[in-house]
Amino acid sequence: MRLLVSVRDAAEAALARDHGADLIDGKDPGRGALGALSADAVRAIAAAAGDRPTSAVAGEPRDADEASACLAALAGTGVHYLKIAWAPGRDAASLRLPAAPSVIAVLFAEDGPDGADVPALAAAGFSGAMIDTRTKDGRRLTDHLPLARLAGFARACRAHGLLSGLAGSLALDDIPVLAALGPGYLGFRGGLCAAADRTGRLDPQRIAEAAQRLGAVAPCIEAA
């Protein structure tokens, strides 16, 4: 069970690294849920992350051809993973995944994804899958999807060998509830910013608290 922290630049990447982030994720919070940064900005984040795994969002493409182009634009930036928005049921016949890095499909909670979507993602060549929220209006992930559906998604990812993650305007108090469902990562941005403003700057104390809370629940879950 690990902590994903989304950052907008190299300075935030260093802050996240130093205060407990397990995976440092580059995105532009001013451009929606999955706003992509420039290739140069992503390279700088990857360098600032040091020995921490990194990812970067590649946008919200309209179809598989556009997704392939978005992924290709960031494929040589040095991150370990790329994340791309992917609608449940979208045809992946023309999707061209890069040889490296690995690619994570991001499904939006508003589209009602569940574990039944996972086999097609594995067949298309994705290395992992996450659920996030498209609309950042104060509603959290669990306002859109019940816990049972989220648990089924995480369980299906494990069964198909995919990395899994849950995100979407999460608050620190969501950690014990969602960690119990068994995702590989919990993803944060707004909940770790001052005044919970995802377009503001990250708060190092909130990052450290999230890491501490996640570290506290993980041994309990493993024991159970």
Residue 136 appears among annotated catalytic residues: no
* Nearest partner of 186 among 143, 217, 161, 146, judged by Cα: 217
Given 83, 90, 144, 213, the catalytic residue: 83
Q: Could you tell me which residues are beta bridge partners of residue 25? A: 6, 55
Q: Could you tell me which residues are beta bridge partners of residue 103? A: 82
> Which two tokens mark 204?
């190092």
> Which two tokens mark 72?
């290709």
Give the gyration radius of the chain's Cα atoms.
Answer: 16
* Nearest partner of 53 among 77, 85, 27, 17, judged by Cα: 17
> Which two tokens mark 102?
């690995």
* Nearest partner of 192 among 12, 65, 9, judged by Cα: 12
Given 8, 17, 27, 213, the catalytic residue: 27
Residues 6+ apart with CB under 8 A from 148: none
Catalytically active residues are 27, 83
